[in-house]
Structure 1
């Protein structure tokens, strides 16, 4: 789980650093945005459930992975930009992993079912929301694409399975694959959440 968790951290750090590079931030800005994207959701989760200090502040592997990945993106972003599809696949995998692990951590800390599902979603999407806010963008999860809803669904599946006393391993795998598959399918089919119809006014 630690290895998978660190892979997710690296993927989200690359996502954040790439967004910072696109905004033409300096070295510190790129590393900072990358680290916030990778660790932000987990920090918010730990604060919400009372697991303080947050894991990102006590386990050096998380901070180091996020920082090194962000530095690599600063220097290698032209080459990485060519791997956009690969990054989207890894991002979808990271979303599934973080959503499920976050929900389980909520359950382990005694958070009720609905709260644990929201904790899972916050873990999955929190870093991306912070990234978009810091780079002056409307968070992607609020205005297009199937992202937050996929995270919410995966978190709900794993929380429901623990409520019914099922072993964690199989439901975890199912929930992660569900988030991963739904995210990729929505990208392939260009699905997005409904938006309000705004009529034009005359005169």
Structure 2
């Protein structure tokens, strides 16, 4: 048996997590390689998802007995006293596919097969004075509800988005504690994307093209 002194608790926890999630890392590398292969072969998004990525995922996904029991029993894998919201700032962030019933009704040539995410809803928010907020405040201070659900209560203060079938409403009087997370970018190796993320997060803008405009600096 190999026994060693543990001098760094974080390194120990990192090693344990790396060991237990090793199959997930291998799956990510495999899917990344398949995606690169599809891009080089000029394959459409629909064909890539249907023929390559989905097949690879289902044929190579490994699930432990413990995880299978948790998922089959509907038991939560994590507990938290704070709500966490992830903001997918990067344009290449992972997206969820539309439901199968919607995909079957779509034209085969239509590549708009992904569901809208938080960033899409932020840029589609009503362009009035009350909505002049940054994306960080939008994620933490507003709830997103279905437009159909909002229409059933016409007296509420929900505001419909411009094109997407959703509405936004201000959080209740009892302030919810929400933690926002976003993709990590190294400031030293990728300063452009690092500062772009901060601008998109904390600068009230209507679309990402506004970042290209000259922003006056007050000294």
TM-score surpassing 0.5? no
Q: Which has the larger radius of gyration?
A: 2
TM-score (norm 1): 0.25
> Greater relative contact order: 1 or 2 (C-alpha under 8 angstroms, separation 6 or more)?
1
**TM-score under structure 2 length normalisation:** 0.24
More strand by share: 2
